[in-house]
Amino acid sequence: MKENPQMIRLTYREAVREAIREALRKDDRVFLMGEDVGRYGGCFAVSKGLLQEFGPERIRDTPLSESAFVGAGIGAAMGGMRPIVEIMTVNFSLLAADQILNNAATILHMSGGQFNIPLVIRMATGGGRQVAAQHSHSLEGWYAHIPGIKVLTPATLEDARGMLWTALEDPDPVLIFENSNLYNMEGQLPADAGPVDIHRARVRRPGSDVTIITYSASLFKALDAAEILAREGIDAEVIDLRTLRPLDQETFLASVTKTHRAVIVDEGWRSGSISAEIAARIMEGAFYELDAPVERICSAEVPMPYAKHLEQAALPQTETIVATIKRMMHS
């Protein structure tokens, strides 16, 4: 394929970095803060080079103190700044769960609307890199349980590039989950790519026989599955949720109303997951449209194992999606 001269080739990692760079340039109030974001260049190399470009005031290395630096981000946001706080992985965000849930998510409400928390927290999520249970979990669905915050899960380069600025313009706290398996993903993006909306899910592949509802890295497994199914005459529609809170149910309910079948692919655990929420909303909103029970493909209910074959067996896979949909179509 001939490259479009208006397009640039870059990785997901570079798309996030460009977004941060643009935000730092656009607004003096923006700064990046987190463990190893400066001298080390970011544990996933997302912020590499930004310290040299913007200096240590705005690319701020923090001690290993998730609670303090997330809380400081909340305070700084209330004090007139626009912090981007980076937490290395979602597992570590649990050390700051008090600040996220008890402060960031609640202060606007508890203060009767007096204090906004215009804060963005970015963190890596997801399994598949053999780093075992304490670095591999997908807890974004868990955070989606909490009113008062917004939960974004950019899967594409466009969203990796565009969601950050929209999140920074939002007066409320926004959590952005970047699946660590996506950082090396390469593709093309318009040179002038900018902010994107964070309120609507997207149909990434139109289809008429079954709806696959998913987000983040699982989107690509779903798209692969759809291609395989297409060769067998099954036309799957793939929906990328993009935002887990607030959930755009209109888009997936419309799709299910069209296809009459729904499969949810979620890297979180099945019990109490975002997939459970989506399934329930389909029951509530489109039950009589269904030709088959809603199916869910989630991670196995185990802490993520280290051994590769076990880890892969624990995660949702393309083959499972294909097999599940075939069973649904032929039953």
Q: So which residues are the catalytic ones?
A: 66, 135
Identify the burial level of 169 via C-beta atoms within 10 angstroms of its C-beta, where 0-12 means exposed, 13-18 middle and 19 or more buried. Answer: middle
**Does residue 195 belong to the site contacting other proteins (CB under 8 A)?**
no
| Contact positions with other proteins (CB under 8 A) in 2-61 | 31, 57
- Out of 5, 39, 63, 231, the only residue in the binding site for other proteins (CB under 8 A) is 63
Residue 82 β-bridge partners: 30
Residues 268-287 that bind other proteins (CB under 8 A): none
Answer for the pair 32, 60: CB distance below 8 angstroms, yes or no.
yes
Tell me which amino acid residue 234 is. Answer: I
The one among 27, 36, 98, 248 contacting other proteins by CB under 8 A? 98
Residues composing the chain: 331
Q: Is 249 in the site for other proteins (CB under 8 A)?
A: no
Binding of other proteins by 172 (CB under 8 A): yes
Of the residues 108, 228, 230, 292, which one makes contact with other proteins according to CB under 8 A: 108
Q: Among 67-75, 248-256, 284-292, 306-314, which window interacts with other proteins (CB under 8 A)?
A: 67-75
Closest CA to 320 of 239, 233, 221, 240: 221
User: Which C-beta is closer to other proteins: that of 4 or that of 111?
Assistant: 111
User: Which residue spans within the chain are E strands per DSSP?
Assistant: 7-11, 30-34, 59-61, 82-89, 120-125, 150-152, 174-179, 186-190, 202-205, 210-214, 236-240, 243-245, 262-269, 295-299
Q: What are phi and psi of 303, to 5 degrees?
A: -60, 145
User: Which range binds other proteins by CB under 8 A, 132-140, 167-175, 178-186, 251-259?
Assistant: 167-175
Contact positions vs other proteins (CB under 8 A): 31, 57, 62-63, 65, 67-81, 83, 98-99, 102-103, 107-116, 118, 147-148, 150, 169-172
